[in-house]
Amino acid sequence: MVENKIITDDLEIVIDNSARHLMKSNFQQAEEVANSVISKTIELKDPYYAMDSIDTLDTINEIAGLAKAKILYYLMTNWNDFGISNSFMDTVSSNIKMTEQMIKRYVKIWETIFVGDAVPEEIKAELQEKPINDLVPIMGALRKGYKIDDDTWDRIVDADKNPTIARIIRTDVYGNEKESDALFYILDKISGLMYVMNRGTRYPIAKLSLSAKDEPAQRAILRLIEKLNVQLVEDK
């Protein structure tokens, strides 16, 4: 194995850069990175190693989202094993560069789509290759108790962008809403500006304080994002 190591201070994540590795899918790479971090966390009995790794993963952006989601889900479901008196959310949100609402969203995506049987196994394999932001509308529908039939799964798998997937979820899962009436909600992660899109036009409607530390504000923002099935973007 040809190894590349992402090293920050005392943190080291081993990445396989062999030709064999380069033929692997993004999801396979993300799982390998996540499993490496989880194994080291177990060995060290140190959840802070996992938290530091989550921030470091931004340097390998194409697989960072899924790897972060798996690591966060592992930490949440095994938190009591670390003997830390503070809660999972309080500790993690104060130690990584992700807001509480983003942590919850990543955990929910991994839990809802890749754990359990809500998604057929053959569909999971297809969804593994999509950017994590594309999975948000799917997670939202499944957590609300909606069932997705085989034909709709096929359309979702073939869709290439989050707005297309969101439209499929809205029309085929939530109900046949007329295209002219369809509203898509978008939130810029950098500026906090929120927009509504209709017929291809974007309209600014609000600005959210995404850096807010107060728990009621964080819960309100998370609830708004989930209820409106908001797509997160990063405008340059």
What are the C-alpha distances in Å from 147 to residues 117, 140, 174, 180, 235? 12, 11, 10, 25, 33
Which positions of the chain have pLDDT values less than 50?
1-23, 177
Cβ pair 54, 96 in contact under 8 A = yes
What local confidence, expressed as pLDDT, does residue 224 receive?
A: 86
Contacts of 134 (CB under 8 A, 6+ apart): 159, 161, 162, 165
pTM: 0.65
How far apart are the C-alpha atoms of 57 and 21, rounded to whole Å? 17
pLDDT confidence of residue 235: 66
Give residue 226's pLDDT: 77
pLDDT, residue 16, reads 46
What is the Cα Rg of the chain in Å?
18
* Structural tokens at position 104: 């919850």
Q: Report the chain's terminal Cα–Cα distance, integer Å.
A: 37
C-alpha separations of 161 from 8, 9, 127 in Å: 33, 37, 12
- The pLDDT score that the predictor gives to residue 215 is 79
Q: Cα(26)–Cα(189) distance, rounded to whole angstroms? A: 23
Residues 6+ apart with CB under 8 A from 50: 37, 38, 41, 71, 74, 75
Query: Does residue 1 sit in helix, strand or coil?
Result: coil
Both structure tokens of 150: 């085989």
pLDDT of 119 = 95
Note the residue count of the chain.
236
Question: Is residue 138 a contact partner of residue 127, using CB atoms and an 8 Å limit?
Answer: yes
Helices (H), the chain: 19-22, 26-44, 47-56, 61-77, 88-93, 100-109, 121-127, 136-143, 150-158, 162-168, 215-227
